[in-house]
Amino acid sequence: MSAPVESRSRWARVRAWFGVRFRSPAAIYGLIVFAAFVSIADDHAEDVWEVLWSASVSLVVFFIAHVFAHTLTEHADHGLRRATREGMRHGAGMLYASVPSILVLVWAGLTGVSVDDAFEACMWATFAVLALLGYGAYARRKAAIAVRLLGAFATACLGIFIVALEYGIH
């Protein structure tokens, strides 16, 4: 039994919305960069709110840099407003992808969780989002379920490894 056309088109719109915000290179980059900022802030922060503030402000600066770079390279062809608008749309995933981790940090701050435990929870949230993205990538390739699961795990592990590299450099 197939879903009605309207239901399928609604699902397609939801998938497209999700894809633009969470499956783009900018989104994955933003997720990893935000996790790296959290790990860096974890070393010196007095409380979870300081970790959240430091990591969020740093991510917004990176987003602004992304929009600036996009605008600078595209404004000659498309005009300043359109290039800026497209840069914001293209880079928005950087901000959206960090939302699950931000929600974890907000929850940690509201419940009085320690900075170290909040950091760990944030890394698990990052791991989970990366795993979902990895699973989805293999599912779109019609891979077998075992390959999807292995791909999800490998994707998440590689992402966390990149976060650790970024932390180690800073």
Tens digits of per-residue pLDDT, 69-122? 999 998 888 889 999 999 998 888 899 989 999 999 999 999 999 999 999 999
Q: 4 falls in which pLDDT band (50, 70, 90)?
A: low
CA distance 136 to 113: 32
Distance CA 41, CA 125 (A): 17
Judge contact between 108 and 117, C-beta under 8 A. yes
Task: Name the 3-class secondary structure at 155.
Answer: helix
Please name which of 154, 136, 170 lies closest in space to residue 35, comparing C-alpha atoms: 170
DSSP class of residue 84 equals H
pLDDT in tens, 58-67: 999 999 999 9
The percent of residues in the chain predicted with pLDDT above 70, rounded, is: 95
Q: Which two tokens stand for residue 87?
A: 């840069």
Chain mean position to CA 57 = 15
Look up residue 109 and give its amino acid: G
Structure tokens, 27:
């989104």
Whether the pLDDT of residue 142 is over 90: the answer is yes
Rounded to the nearest 5 degrees, what angle is found at the Cα of 110, between the Cα atoms of 105 and 111? 100
Q: Which pLDDT tens digit goes with each residue over 117-136? A: 999 999 999 999 999 989 98
Angle at 79 between CA 76 and CA 85, to 5 degrees: 120
Q: Are 65 and 94 a contacting pair, CB within 8 Å?
A: no
User: Residue 3 pLDDT > 60, yes or no?
Assistant: no
By the 8 A CB rule, do 156 and 134 touch? Answer: yes
Backbone angles phi, psi at 93, to 5 degrees: -60, -30
Q: Can you read off the two tokens belonging to residue 12?
A: 């397609």
Q: How far is the CA of 66 from the CAs of 7, 45, 90, 95, in angstroms?
A: 36, 27, 9, 11
